[in-house]
Structure formats: structure tokens, C-alpha cells
A and B are shown apart, each in its own frame.
Chain A
Amino acid sequence: MSTTTPLLELRNVHSYYGNIQALKGISLTVNEGEIVTLIGSNGAGKSTTLRTISGIIHPRSGEILLDNKRIDHIPPHDVVKLGVLQSPEGRRIFPRLSVRDNLEMGAFTRNDTAGIAEDMERVFDLFPRLRERANQKGGTLSGGEQQMLAIGRALMGRPRVLLLDEPSMGLAPVLVEQIFNIIKEINSQGTTVLLVEQNALMALEIAHRGYVLQTGQIVLADTAKALSENEMVQKAYLGVE
């Protein structure tokens, strides 16, 4: 898989919040068809990396390339149009819109009515719970259902790269397992996934490759299998003594 050309590439990206440097030279690649995971503890810069890719914050230096074309410094709504969609941290569904309307918002940049309907069916097939609750307001869903909705909403934009920010956050273990199975399923249907997780164990289980982030820098990069066997990763993130 490492022989394919990278779909998404970050080259020495530095990002700041005001004067505080959050990313100190991140370089990573995501190849077509892969699940790549970004693991690390609180404050390591995982979400900042996703925000920088989405264009919500712009890097002060470095390059972000999609298909070898630079996408840093273009506004977030244009990044979405290029097929980079994010399911943001904390889900951020639209609480007072119905499930169906939430999903339709995900397809905001698209005009192909038939394609949207088709993708809606696809999302409902992936998440039958959402079909059951299609007319219910988003805010009345349980945490797990809201996470499904957030992922489904991002899928409605027909992403080439799906950015998932902490999909396991605040969910019961059995639901986490379910969500991760679905992520795998989405990937097997052809969507490239960049997954940010604190739950390193689960993330490394489904990912092809992974990066370990510490205080804004990548300290380790390897295949998921190798990472989960790495002593330092085991100690720091997997709770293995």
C-alpha cells in the first residue's frame, strides 16, 4: 500500500492558536483507500491537525496537499467541495433539525438530487438506527446515535477523505465497537479515512497505518500492527505493563 501515491499529504505543517504553537512541523501522508490513525494524549495536537486540514485554521508554514495540489489557505467551505469532510469533535449535529435534515445539510455543496437520495439510502443502510429515527430531531438522539449521525452527515458530502475526530468520545464500550466496525465498513466501500483517537487500542485495530503525536510533533510512524507492538506505545497508550 505504500507504493500508491498519497491522496492527502502534510509537509512540515506549523499551526498556531494566537501565539501558542500547536503543531510543530507535522508531516504525514494518507494514501487512497487507507485508514490512517493519529493517536496521542490530550493536547497533543490531534484535533488541531484535522482543523488545519479542513481549513478552519490555516498553517503558518508548511504545505497541505490533496492530489498534489495545495489546499492550505483555502477557506473551509472550499476544502469541503474538494472532498475533504470532517465529522467534528463532540459530534456537533444540528440538534433542532430532524435526522433527515441533518443528513441533507451534509450534502449542502451538492446539486445532484438523485445522487443525494442514493447516498441517503446508503447512510441508512450503514446505520439502520438512523432510518428508524429519520424524522426525529437530532438533539433527542442518544450519544451513540448522534455519533452515527455525525459520521453519516459527513458521508453525505461524498468525501474522498473522511476526517473523524474522536468518534469514540463519551460512548459505551459496546457502542465504540459498533462505531469502529462501521468505520471499517465505510473504508471497505472505498472511502479513505483519517481517524483521530484517544482510544488507541481500537484505532490501531482497524487502521492500516498510524502516527503517534506528542506535543505537536510526530514521534512515531509505522504500520498499525507494528505500532501496537511497540513498547513505548504499549506503555503510554495501550495500558500494557
Chain B
Amino acid sequence: MNPRIRAGLAGGIFGALITLISVDQVVYLAGMLAGTTAGMMVAYMEPQKKWLDGLRQGIQAGLLGGLFIVIAKLLRAILINPLIGDSTDLGGQFMLGLNGLVIATIISAIFAVIATLPRPQDLIGRYAMVAILTLIYPWIDQYFQYRFMGEVIPVLVFVLMALGLNIVVGYAGLLDLGYAAFFAIGAYATAMVASPHFGISLSFWLVIWIAAAVAAIFGVILGAPTLPLRGDYLAIVTLGFGEIVPIAATNLDTFSLSILGFKVIDNINLTGGPKGINPINRPYLPGIGAFQSSQPIPWYYLILIIMIFSIFFILRLRNSRLGRAWTAMREDELAAEAMGINIVKTKLLAFSMGATFSGFAGAFYGSYISAIFPESFRFEVSVMLLCMVILGGMGNIPGVILGGLLIQFADRLFLPQLSNMMQSIISSPQVQLPSSLSFLHELSFASDFRLLLFGITLVVMMLLRPEGLIPSERQRMELHADEEPVVEQQQTEVYTARNQETV
């Protein structure tokens, strides 16, 4: 299939889905996302040298994507809006759809033109573009009154954790099924030193480092017993830790310790038990004051800053000596050892570096939610994080970010919106469900089916694209070695090979 049509389709379906389930103004956001998807994809699949070719290509893909948005908008106006009491003004809805189309086309064209710049300007341009969209998002959200910020922030927290897990799983090749334990440890460390629970109130700007350090230390403690283990056995031990930590947090509300008959610690409430610790102090900045939950913008920029810092640090790590040791260990532990790599140190550092970022995430999340409960750190969280890493592309930072964003947004924004819409349709007076169709009522709680949908997505992904959405070169090689003969590669050859594969 023509890459422009493919890119347009991908962006269009994405945009149309969002448009279908959302209220009027969200069409601008749908246009932005559709344009970004279409523009990035078309430039990746069909790289152009001349900026005019890029412009043409970007406009074509963007127009196609935008067309889907217009159609989705009209469909909604005709089929859904009458039922839920939204605007049925076809002309007005069409105009809104057109707005979405224009935005999609413009953004797609910008991305496609940027991609025609010589390296490395194209990369810088692309990242700058993504950075601009990310930075202005809160103002868009506020202007159009989306009120998505409350969900966007936890999404970013989870993406940050996925980046940390990627160190353990993607770089060092250690399958960790209990990563949420470090999230919990970071959050509890924060709660203990920045809340009325123990009466200690350190500043958030100090606490976040304490949380990261505590998580890193626990990374070493939990990593040590796994040293002789590999593969499945390692995964099972980490699974055990993932269970131990939340259960310990539940039960450490009456903690006593006696050594040789002397009560060293008598019945102190360490974790608040099932009720958790609440409230946790908020960050304070002169000029802004203490961050409020009603004011999401400072939180948004804070998590962005933490993420940018983390990404920078992780990139440096990957290209460091330690990063190379991880690669070697992941490839063949015994050979790595024969090359003089200290396996013990390398493994423990993978666990503790991975845990560090979870510690940041835990500290931020704890003070953002201002309360923590053992329930927030269940096995489900670890699995979700692992899926984010695998869906996006193990070992590749943009891939992990994309995978994380997709899964988290589907889970926190898309499905709830979908259920809201379906429920308002079913409960509207115009709809009389015959009793034979009453299962539709159950189905309307789409959020309840999130794990099912999530499972289906994973199965489909593993069958169609096991290396993830944006795989690291190495992963792609491993899983498709039989499809693409390896040649001495130059950039252009890689691209042509890729096109032949995808067309």
C-alpha cells in the first residue's frame, strides 16, 4: 500500500476514534494527534530529499487523516448526538470537522517538511516540534476546557516508570515482573518523610532524591537474591517481590521488633496499613506557592522536567561503559563474564538504576495524589508497565514512550469516555433496548472490559509486530532475521528494505 495512504489511514483512524467519542472541541486535539501520527509515519516510510516533495507528501497524508475526522464528526452528529442531546447542527459540526482537518494537514506537513532536512537537523526539528506541542498542551487544554490534565499527569508518571523498567528489561535483559514494588517504595519513602504521619516535613525537592535513593538501595537488596537466576526463574522471584512489598505495606501498621528479648521497636505504625498515609505534603515553589490539585499546570511541567532529566540520564547511561556491559550481559552472560565484565555489579546496577526512576515517579505520584495506599501498587501495575515497554519496543526510548502513552491514554481517557458515551446513549429516552439486547447494557461499561481489550491488543501485537511499535534496531533484527537478509547497511538501503517490507 502507498505509504501516504498508510500514514493517512493510521492518523485518520486515530483521530476519528477520538472524535467519535468526544465532545465538540476535542476535534482540535484529534487533529493535532492525527497530523502528528500521519506526518511522522509518512516521513519515516517514504523519506524525501526535497522540501517540496515532503510538503506534498505531508499534506496528502494529513488531508486523508483529516478526512476521517470530518467523517467521524458527521457520523457523530447524525447518529450519536441526537441520542445524547449534543448539537445536531450538521453545518456547525461539519465546520468543526474541517477545523480538525486543517490542523491535521498543517501539522502533518510541518513534520514531513522537517524530515527532509539533513541529519541531524531533521531529528532536532522533530524533537523540537514534539516539545512545542507538549509544552503548549496545558494552554490548549485550558483554552478549550478539555479538563484532561488530571489524567495526563498520571499518564506521564507511568511513562516515566516504563522508562525505568526499560533499563532493567530492555537494556539488561532481566525480566522483572515486580517493578511496581519500587514505585511503592519511592512513594512510601516520600510519605514517611513528608507528611504528618511521623511529623517529618522535608521539602519535596529534597524528598524526591531521598525517594530515588531509597528505591535504588531496595533495587540492590531485591536484586541480590536474583543474581544466580536467569530467565523464567528470575521472573518468578521478581514476581514474588512485587507481591511482598504491597502486602508488607498493608501489614506494617503494627510493627514490632525485638532482638534477644529486648523490644527495640514496639508497635509503631510504619505504613498506615490498608488506609495508607494521607495527606502527603505538596511541593512548594516561591512564586507559585504550594502546588494545588486544582491547579494541574505546575504539576504537568514538574513531571515533564523530571522526565526530560530522566531521558537525558538514561541516554547517557545507555552509551556509557555500563550500558555496554548491560548489552553484553543481555546477549550472553557467560561470554560477558569472559570479557571481564563484573556480572554481579552490572546486574545490581541495572536493578538499582531502574528502581531510581521508579523512585522519582513514586515521590511525584505520592505528593500529587497526596495519599498512598498499598492497593495502588498491585501486580496489575507491574504487568501494565511491562506491556508498555513491550508494546512500544523494548530497549528503545521513543518506542517505550509511545507504548506507554498509548496504553495509558486508552486506559485513563479513551475507555472512560467511551463508556460515558455508551451509557448516555443507552439511558437516553429515545433508545428502547429490547430485552434480547440487554447485554449491550453490560457492554456499555467499556472500562470494565479494559483488561480484556488490553489482552486482545497484546495478542494481536505479538502476532503482527512482536518487536513493538518502534523497535530498537537490535530487536527488529532478532525477530525478523529470516525476512530481511542482512547486508552492509547504509541508511538508504535500510529505508528501501523497509519500504519493500511494508508496501
Q: Is the CB of A96 within 8 A of B331?
A: yes
Q: Is the CB of A96 within 8 A of B478?
A: yes
Q: Is the CB of A106 within 8 A of B339?
A: yes
Q: Which residues of B contact A56 (CB under 8 A)?
A: 334, 337-338
Q: Is the CB of B334 within 8 A of A92?
A: yes
Q: Determine if B328 is an interface residue (Cβ-Cβ < 8 Å).
A: yes
Q: Is the CB of A75 within 8 A of B338?
A: no
Which parts of B323-353 form the interface with A (CB within 8 Å)?
Answer: 324-325, 327-328, 331-332, 334-344
Instruction: Identify which of B324, B328, B489 contacts A135 (C-beta below 8 A).
Output: B489
Smallest CB gap from B327: residue in A: A97
Q: Which residues of B contact A95 (CB under 8 A)?
A: 331-332
Q: Determine if A54 is an interface residue (Cβ-Cβ < 8 Å).
A: yes
Q: Is the CB of B328 within 8 A of A96?
A: no
Q: Is the CB of B342 within 8 A of A77?
A: yes
Q: Is the CB of A108 within 8 A of B486?
A: no
Q: Which residues of B contact A109 (CB under 8 A)?
A: 339-340
Q: Is the CB of A92 within 8 A of B340?
A: no
Smallest CB gap from B490: residue in A: A135
Instruction: Identify which of A80, A137, A157 contacts B486 (C-beta below 8 A).
Output: A137
Q: Which residues of A contact B325 (CB under 8 A)?
A: 108
Q: Determine if A228 is an interface residue (Cβ-Cβ < 8 Å).
A: no
Q: Which residues of A contact B336 (CB under 8 A)?
A: 105
Q: Determine if B230 is an interface residue (Cβ-Cβ < 8 Å).
A: no
Instruction: Identify which of A54, A85, A86, A108 contacts B341 (C-beta below 8 A).
Output: A108
Q: Which residues of A contact B337 (CB under 8 A)?
A: 56, 76-77
- In Å, the complex CA distance between A137 and B335 comes to 16
- In Å, the complex CA distance between A96 and B473 comes to 10
Q: Determine if B477 is an interface residue (Cβ-Cβ < 8 Å).
A: yes
Q: Is the CB of A108 within 8 A of B335?
A: no
Q: Determine if A216 is an interface residue (Cβ-Cβ < 8 Å).
A: no
Instruction: Identify which of A54, A93, A136 contacts B488 (C-beta below 8 A).
Output: A136
Q: Determine if B474 is an interface residue (Cβ-Cβ < 8 Å).
A: yes
- In Å, the complex CA distance between A104 and B335 comes to 13
Q: Is the CB of A92 within 8 A of B332?
A: yes
- In Å, the complex CA distance between A95 and B477 comes to 10
Instruction: Identify which of B338, B474, B478 contacts A88 (C-beta below 8 A).
Output: B338
Q: How far is the CB of B489 from chain A (nearest CB, A)?
A: 7
Interface size on B, as a range, is 20 to 34
Smallest CB gap from A107: residue in B: B339
Among A87, A94, A97, A136, the most chain B Cβ lie within 10 Å of the Cβ of A94
- In Å, the complex CA distance between A97 and B273 comes to 48
Q: How far is the CB of B166 from chain A (nearest CB, A)?
A: 17
Q: Is the CB of A75 within 8 A of B342?
A: yes
Contact with B along A91-120 (1 / 0, CB 8 A): 011111100000011101100000000000
- In Å, the complex CA distance between A96 and B342 comes to 21
Q: How far is the CB of A169 from chain B (nearest CB, A)?
A: 15
Q: Is the CB of B488 within 8 A of A105?
A: no
Instruction: Identify which of B324, B335, B343, B486 contacts A93 (C-beta below 8 A).
Output: B335
- In Å, the complex CA distance between A77 and B321 comes to 15
Q: Is the CB of B331 within 8 A of A80?
A: no
Q: Is the CB of B335 within 8 A of A77?
A: no
- Knowing A108-B325, A136-B486, the reply to whether A76 touches B331 (Cβ < 8 A) is no
Q: Determine if A42 is an interface residue (Cβ-Cβ < 8 Å).
A: no
Q: How far is the CB of B472 from chain A (nearest CB, A)?
A: 10
Q: Which residues of B contact A87 (CB under 8 A)?
A: 338
Q: Which residues of A contact B324 (CB under 8 A)?
A: 104-105, 108
Q: Determine if A81 is an interface residue (Cβ-Cβ < 8 Å).
A: yes
Contact with A along B212-247 (1 / 0, CB 8 A): 000000000000000000000000000000000000
Of all A-B residue pairs in the complex, the 10 with the closest CB atoms, nearest first, are: A80-B340, A109-B340, A92-B335, A94-B331, A77-B342, A77-B340, A108-B339, A96-B474, A140-B486, A76-B337
